Structure 1
Amino acid sequence: MLLAALLCCSSAAWAERLSLSAALDAAKLYDPRYQAALRDFEASQELGVQGKAALGPDVSLAASGAQNQLGQTVGASSRTINYQSASLVVQLRQPIYNAELRARSREGEARSRQGAAGLAEQKAQFLLRLMEAYANILLADELLATASAESESLDERLRAARRLRARGEGTVTEELEASSRLAIASARLLEARDGRQDAIGRLQMIVGPSISIEPKSLDSQLKPVHLYPVMVSEWEALALAHNPSIEVRRHALQAAREVLDRIGAARQPRIDLLVSVSKADSDSINTVNQSSLQKSVGVQLNMPLFDNGRSDSQVRQAVAAAGTAQAQLDYTRDSVLAELRQNYRALINLEQKIKAYAHALESAVMQIEATQKSVKGGIRVTLDVLNAQAQRFSIQQELTKTRFDYFKAWFQLRAAAGILDEPDIAMIDQRLK
């Protein structure tokens, strides 16, 4: 239904065209930019895992073994002792109070949420790219059909002018005018064919170069949809609540604040619980051929005292970074709302332009018929028919482009509001035939 608002009456066939849902499935597996976004998301989720893990126990194992030789001289006598030594230590460290690790954990969670919002942002852009590339095929079909019809019409007009001249009823000027316009129309037809091939190539960059799916086309009976929600303020509320670009910047600001807290917390004391078990065999000259097993439980305190201004510098740096994140959030919010309002106004205006062009097209068709009758009656000349036909095809192209602009503005509006998703693709595909 949405797609018909922009691209009704597609008449050219493309044997290699994908269905929209199949294009989406193929693009999710192939599109390099979307694959990169998925990998970035997976990497960001590990930051939250790492932050939580830092608050848990840390268990380490240390083992050593050596062959030792000791030479001793006591008075006039000397001796050499050969012995083996070995040690094994298992230690558990559990943070009891560590404000820096807690801030680091919160920072990791914020970065993970930022990564999830980033994936949502990239997915919305991915859907927009796919929809635009797919619609460009339909737009190219429309323009190619219009250019072909214009070329055929002018070719027929040229043959008619030659027949009239051969009977002495036409003029050289009319024949030359028809020939000139046919040459221009032929050039437009070549341009339309090139544009169609470019559109196919751009879609293949997203879905892959070798996909074969049953072709689909548009239902020419579908009507434009009504804008919902109706008020621009409702769309703005949706954007502030759901737009992924705003969410990315919001979580980036939260992460920057956690960095500031982490740096400040590094000056606070750290208290750890230490539990260790150690086993040693001949670990010194005084314990040759002796074994020991030691178990200990204790608390360790670490308190930073002086770092020559390094922490103060890091605090200033973190404050500046938080200010940058706040400014970026403000800019992103303003940009999103400005784009949303622009697309909202464009939709309203484009819907009116579609109606105006459709009415103008009907009038242009009737004008051609009336002009042709006037030519037969001797009131008008062939040049008047050519002008009327040129106006008709010009209006047809403007109508096609306006429908495409409507389509683009509609999906950009939904993307700005943060509600563009795969069900929109499926809904459109259900209305393709």
Structure 2
Amino acid sequence: MPLKPRVRKSSVALLALCAAIPAFAADLVHVYREALAYDAQYAAARATAEAGREKQPQALAGLLPTIGATGNTFWNDSTFDSKAGAATLHERNKYNSNAYSVNLTQPLFRWQNFVQYDQSKLLVMQSEANFAQAGQDLIVRVAQAYFDVLFAIENLRAVQANKTAIAQQLEQAKKNFEVGTATITDTYESQSRFDLATAQEIAADSELEVKRYALRVLIGKDPGELNRLKPKAVMEAPQPASMEPWVEAAERDSFVVQAQQAAAEAANKTIEINRAGHYPTLDVVANYGTNNGPGQFGIGEIDTTTRQVGLQLNIPLFQGGAVNSRTREAIARRDAERATLDSAKRNAALNSRQAYLGVVNGLAEVRALEAALVSSLSSLDSNRLGYEVGVRINIDVLNAENQVYVTRRDLARARFNTLLSQLKLKAAVGSLAEADLERINVLFEAP
């Protein structure tokens, strides 16, 4: 009996501890796999691709035979009156009649059906390319959201560290003023910086919450603790190290370009389909049917069986100009798709150039900011020493401290932007895959 209260207290403590633990802690690849299963945008793309794949069997049906069956049964009530001189003949018959038939049609020549089948292959290609692009977009969106959270954390830490330093300087300025070694101006300046840092902390904390929720929207649960970028992480330069091969690959291999290429070719097939409205069609038709009912005047019973096999030719002569109009419409839509294809190639080239420059210039920016951080730390040490010996004033130290935190924040942003540009460069040429995330993932470590 005495053990029960202890067990109850332990259970409560365990529940409280579990509630305090984040939903899960994951790295970049784990977050991506969670998004694969949860993200609504990707799920919609997957369903759209499944729907697009049905275009080919639908078009194939136009080349295969169609079979139909009909049947009927009727209750008949007929009256027959006949006069011959003074004699009148009145006959009333009530009977049931039944009939059924089976019909088969096998297209032999329907040009539009053959073209539609070829077109369906292009539509499936377009659907698959769009789905592949959605997969690449998901990788970029996950990485963007993941890096946004990490940068928001870095930004909040920098703001809080800056606030802590300013609070220390404010306290020191107040003491110096009390003992008469500093003016009230130093106190006012420190207080102003402290109030500003407080406002920045509130904004940074709010921004972190927003970024964490944005990541949660992608994976459906709290992201928990995320792995952080290693301080000495080394990022690779793009290979090949020239921009033009990337641009050429983007114009050729981008999934957006591939999808639009298929759409343009499918639009060209639509012209053939509409022109086929002028062409004759030839089908094999077969029919088997029976009819059961009474004979003439309801006397006896007759069973009729019909079997037919033959060819059916249909030659369109005039359809009010509808075929010509639809053909002109298809030509205009084909031209529009071709123009859209040109636009897709240009945008792919632009995206690849931007991503390539983002990587190359990002690496240079990272190196510059790393050097700037070293210089900022040295400057801060010098200003602190100068303030202690009286050759620097309080504002000099505050400015030096602020510069250190700003440089650290900018360095974190440059690193994340460079990594994101690496992914976008691969996406621009249609080669982005989970393996690319895994290569980036090794640059991170548990906090």
TM-score by length of 1: 0.92
Map of 1:10 onto structure 2? none
Map of 1:233 onto structure 2? 244
Provide, for residues 46-84 of structure 1, a one-character-per-residue CA deviation record: whole Å limited to 9, x for no partner: 111100121111111111111112211222212011221
Q: In structure 2, how many angstroms separate the alpha carbons of the residues matched to 1:50 and 1:286?
A: 50
Kindly report the root-mean-square deviation, in angstroms, between the aligned alpha carbons of the 2 structures. Answer: 2.1
Deviating more after overlay: 134-143 vs 217-226: 217-226
Map of 1:175 onto structure 2? 187
Map of 1:342 onto structure 2? 354
Cα distance, 1:122 vs structure 2: 1.7
> Contact 1:271–1:299 at 8 Å: present in 2 too?
yes
- Go from structure 1 to structure 2 and tell me whether the alpha carbon gap of 1:366 and 1:283 turns closer, same or farther (over 3 Å shift): farther
Structure 1 runs (4+) greater than 4 angstroms displaced:
13-17, 211-215, 283-288
- Go from structure 1 to structure 2 and tell me whether the alpha carbon gap of 1:360 and 1:432 turns closer, same or farther (over 3 Å shift): closer
Cα distance, 1:211 vs structure 2: 4.7
> What amino acid does structure 1 have at the position aligned with 2:37?
L
Secondary structure in 2 aligned to 1:144?
helix
> Contact 1:118–1:245 at 8 Å: present in 2 too?
yes
Map of 1:70 onto structure 2? 78
Map of 1:9 onto structure 2? none
Q: In structure 2, how many angstroms separate the alpha carbons of the residues matched to 1:36 and 1:29?
A: 12
Cα distance, 1:260 vs structure 2: 0.6
Q: In structure 2, how many angstroms separate the alpha carbons of the residues matched to 1:116 and 1:408?
A: 25
Find the partner of 1:53 among 61, 74, 82.
61
Q: In structure 1, how many angstroms separate the alpha carbons of the residues matched to 2:164 and 2:294?
A: 100
Cα distance, 1:334 vs structure 2: 0.6
Map of 1:248 onto structure 2? 259
Deviating more after overlay: 156-165 vs 176-185: 156-165
Q: In structure 1, how many angstroms separate the alpha carbons of the residues matched to 2:363 and 2:223?
A: 35
Deviating more after overlay: 409-418 vs 146-155: 409-418
> What amino acid does structure 2 have at the position aligned with 1:276?
N
Secondary structure in 2 aligned to 1:61?
strand
- Go from structure 1 to structure 2 and tell me whether the alpha carbon gap of 1:212 and 1:171 turns closer, same or farther (over 3 Å shift): closer
Number of aligned residue pairs? 420
Q: Is 1:281 matched up with 2:292?
A: yes
Secondary structure in 1 aligned to 2:180?
coil
Provide, for residues 109-162 of structure 1, a one-character-per-residue CA deviation record: whole Å limited to 9, x for no partner: 221111111111222222211111111111111111111111111111112222
> Contact 2:150–2:226 at 8 Å: present in 1 too?
no
Point out the structure with max Rg over C-alpha.
2
> Contact 1:19–1:213 at 8 Å: present in 2 too?
no
- Go from structure 1 to structure 2 and tell me whether the alpha carbon gap of 1:379 and 1:294 turns closer, same or farther (over 3 Å shift): same
TM-score by length of 2: 0.89
Map of 2:171 onto structure 1? 159
Provide, for residues 349-373 of structure 1, a one-character-per-residue CA deviation record: whole Å limited to 9, x for no partner: 2211111111111101101111222
> Contact 1:374–1:380 at 8 Å: present in 2 too?
yes
Find the partner of 2:204 among 181, 192, 203.
192
Map of 1:303 onto structure 2? 315
Map of 2:32 onto structure 1? 24
Q: In structure 1, how many angstroms separate the alpha carbons of the residues matched to 2:123 and 2:296?
A: 53
Map of 1:121 onto structure 2? 133
- Go from structure 1 to structure 2 and tell me whether the alpha carbon gap of 1:211 and 1:164 turns closer, same or farther (over 3 Å shift): closer
Provide, for residues 192-242 of structure 1, a one-character-per-residue CA deviation record: whole Å limited to 9, x for no partner: 11110000111111111x357675333333211121122212112321332
> Contact 2:384–2:397 at 8 Å: present in 1 too?
yes
> What amino acid does structure 2 have at the position aligned with 1:310?
A
Map of 2:44 onto structure 1? 36
Unaligned runs of 5+ in 1: 1-12
Map of 2:4 onto structure 1? none
- Go from structure 1 to structure 2 and tell me whether the alpha carbon gap of 1:374 and 1:92 turns closer, same or farther (over 3 Å shift): same
Provide, for residues 344-398 of structure 1, a one-character-per-residue CA deviation record: whole Å limited to 9, x for no partner: 1222122111111111111011011112222233322222111211222222222
> Contact 1:143–1:397 at 8 Å: present in 2 too?
yes
Percent of pairs identical after alignment?
A: 24
Cα distance, 1:19 vs structure 2: 2.6
Q: In structure 2, how many angstroms separate the alpha carbons of the residues matched to 1:212 and 1:382?
A: 41
Q: In structure 2, how many angstroms separate the alpha carbons of the residues matched to 1:169 and 1:16?
A: 53
> What amino acid does structure 2 have at the position aligned with 1:31?
D
Cα distance, 1:170 vs structure 2: 2.2
> Contact 1:51–1:109 at 8 Å: present in 2 too?
no
- Go from structure 1 to structure 2 and tell me whether the alpha carbon gap of 1:40 and 1:265 turns closer, same or farther (over 3 Å shift): same
